[in-house]
Amino acid sequence: MSNTPMAASPLTRAVLEIDEYTSGLGWDQPARLFALVDTARLRSQEPGLAAQLGLEQEQETTGLTPVEQEEIPAGKPLDEFLGTIAWPDAVVGCALTVERLMLPPSAEGSVPEGLSGKKLTQWVAAHPDRQEVRMTVGVLRDGTRDSALRLREKDAATEVLTGAGLVPGLAEALSATFAD
């Protein structure tokens, strides 16, 4: 199903698989939330669902299967929405993909003082150096994190950046969904 590297960790493969899936949907998409479940456990405990997801032929014994969740409510701030999530024990991790505008670090010094919220968003949207980016961040219950970043202007699988520390704030917010 996926072109993700086999040498990558299960979480990296899941994050890249989600990035590949969402890239196929095009840009200007809403945020999407995914539960991450242990593939072997899913096959043994939920064979019907595994078959529906096309996993019955999977040979891999370790891996994570992303399961897309219901749509994130429109108009609700993402941080507030994430604060309402509680995962069942069968979910070993979660991932979120979201599009944002970003500025390079060199633009930080030019942000007008006192801008916040909607005004800051408008300022960033009008900045000539802005970049549209799709961020896919995954976390596991044990604290493991990984991320994939795709720039709209370099929209190719070979241009996707990966790393555990690329989007620390979002990773922290996702990790909090597993707090007791």
Q: What is the pTM of this model?
A: 0.82
Our measurement of the distance from residue 111's CA atom to the centroid of its chain's CA atoms, rounded to an integer in Å, reads: 27
- The torsion of the CA quartet 84, 86, 92, 94, rounded to 10 degrees, works out to -10
| pLDDT of the chain, 180 residues: tens digit per residue | 455 555 578 999 999 999 999 999 999 999 999 999 988 887 777 777 667 766 666 655 568 989 999 888 888 888 889 989 989 998 999 999 999 888 777 777 777 787 777 787 787 777 887 889 999 999 999 999 999 999 998 888 888 999 999 999 999 999 999 987
Phi-psi sector, 117: left (phi>0), alpha (psi -120 to 50), beta: left
